[in-house]
Amino acid sequence: MPGQTMRAWQWRGPGDHGLIETPAPRPAADELLIRVEACGLCGTDLRILAGDYGHARAPVVIGHEFAGVVVAVGSAVTGFAAGQAVAADPNVYCLNCEWCARRAFNLCQNIKAIGIGRAGAMAEFVTVPARLAVALPDGLDPALGALIEPLACVLHGIERGGIEPGRTLAVYGAGAIGLMAVVVAAQLGAVVTVVEPLARRRVRAEVAGAVECLERLAPGRRFDNVLDASGAPAAVADGLARLRKRGSFIQMGVTPSGFELPISPYRVYENEWRIIGSNSVADCYEPAAKLMPQISQPMRALVTHTLALAELPRGIGLIADPAAVKVQIDPRL
């Protein structure tokens, strides 16, 4: 069991965040207490810290991509024991609403996500409902366990978009989500083109399985599927203009909340386009956990920086660095 207090990174309001000493949590009857060994820093975290993410509730300890070791189990928990390596779906959904019944757990009417609506894993310890945890294979790097959450987001997006073997896919952005989308789509048999302005990231996309990696697309290029993993307004606008007939556009990147684009309903009708949002994990966390050991080599290469908790401000700066893909925090450092 932890001591009386622990270190954690708390968000208190727009631009107001920092390292704190806070009471260490104790697990409820249905929860696990996890010693965090890896926690990813992602674009959602940056939007929370800036005060531009509507679901976040201050004050809150951030961090929702994580893995670690069980140190205590609640009195009603079965199937887990102290010393077990685990990761967990951060979306604490109710199981009682319409959306949970439809397995759209990410749209739960009563959702409270770890690191967003309840205390997260940018901390030495975190509690999670045991029903959301998955046991990790012996010897799996905790860095890979912490990548299960973003991988699940990618699986959900590819499922929503109906990406099929042999079809063409343009991925805008070769950050962590974009590169994971390349790995998964290429394994599925899609023909993947990556659009990425940074040369260093284009090289990574080629290694991940893209057949071509371009700074920009030539006029007239069209694709069966387009996936935006950048959130950049210019990329979204270009991507929407790149669909073939019966094409699907998948919006995974988080754009600025006020950004809007005009679109022609007639062209949507004429070409039978599908324009699809893909938000978070839904019901893909366990499939992602099962897939992770099979693609561990390309996934592990995405973790470019591992920092101590006190170095989180440096991690924020690294996210924009072309040399960085996935920045993770190890609270044990």
Say if residue 176 is in the same domain as residue 65.
no
Sign, Cα dihedral of 154, 173, 168, 225: positive
Q: How far apart are alpha carbons 141 and 136 in whole angstroms?
A: 9
> Is 99 contained in some domain?
yes
Say if residue 86 is in the same domain as residue 105.
yes
Say if residue 167 is in the same domain as residue 239.
yes
Say if residue 159 is in the same domain as residue 135.
no
Give the gyration radius of the chain's Cα atoms: 20
Say if residue 125 is in the same domain as residue 238.
no
Q: What is the pLDDT of residues 275-295, one digit of tens each?
A: 999 999 999 999 999 999 999
Sign, Cα dihedral of 203, 209, 210, 212: positive
Q: Are strands 326-329 and 31-41 parallel, antiparallel or unpaired?
A: antiparallel
> Is 246 contained in some domain?
yes
| Angle 202-203-209 from CA coordinates, rounded to 5° | 90
Question: Residue 12: what pLDDT?
Answer: 95
Phi and psi at 295, nearest 5°, equal -125, 30
Say if residue 259 is in the same domain as residue 217.
yes
Is the pLDDT score of 268 beyond 90?
Answer: yes
Is the pLDDT score of 309 beyond 80?
Answer: yes
Assign residue 184 the CATH number of its domain.
Answer: 3.40.50.720
Q: What is the pLDDT of residues 96-132, one digit of tens each?
A: 999 999 999 999 999 999 999 999 999 999 999 999 9
Question: Residue 1: what pLDDT?
Answer: 62
> Is 286 contained in some domain?
no
Say if residue 63 is in the same domain as residue 188.
no
Q: How far apart are alpha carbons 295 and 115 in whole angstroms?
A: 27
Is the pLDDT score of 254 beyond 90?
Answer: no
Q: What is the pLDDT of residues 19-31, one digit of tens each?
A: 999 999 999 999 9
Share of the chain above pLDDT 70, in %: 100
Say if residue 63 is in the same domain as residue 139.
yes
Residue 258: pLDDT band by 50, 70, 90 thresholds?
confident
Q: How far apart are alpha carbons 150 and 145 in whole angstroms?
A: 10
Say if residue 93 is in the same domain as residue 131.
yes
Say if residue 185 is in the same domain as residue 252.
yes
For residues 83-107, give the mean pLDDT: 96
Q: Which two tokens stand for residue 65?
A: 């991509």
> Into how many domains does the chain fold?
2
Mean pLDDT score of the chain? 95
pTM > 0.75: yes
> Is 86 contained in some domain?
yes
Residue numbers of the domain that contains 23: 5-147+302-329
Q: What is the pLDDT of residues 161-181, one digit of tens each?
A: 999 999 999 999 999 999 999
Question: Residue 53: what pLDDT?
Answer: 78
Q: What is the pLDDT of residues 196-246, one digit of tens each?
A: 999 999 999 999 999 999 999 999 999 999 999 999 999 999 999 999 999
Say if residue 137 is in the same domain as residue 9.
yes
Assign residue 13 the CATH number of its domain.
Answer: 3.90.180.10
Q: What is the pLDDT of residues 7-55, one digit of tens each?
A: 999 999 998 999 999 999 999 999 999 999 999 999 889 889 988 777 7
> Is 292 contained in some domain?
no
Residue 79 is which amino acid? Answer: G
> Is 287 contained in some domain?
no
> Is 291 contained in some domain?
no
Residue 321: pLDDT band by 50, 70, 90 thresholds?
confident
> Is 63 contained in some domain?
yes
Question: Which comes out higher in pLDDT, residue 63 or 323?
Answer: 63
DSSP string, 9-69: EEEEETTEEEEEEEEPP---TTEEEEEEEEEEE-HHHHHHHHT--TT--SSEE---EEEEE
Is the pLDDT score of 323 beyond 90?
Answer: no
> What count of residues does the chain have?
333
Say if residue 33 is in the same domain as residue 114.
yes
Q: How far apart are alpha carbons 41 and 59 in whole angstroms?
A: 18
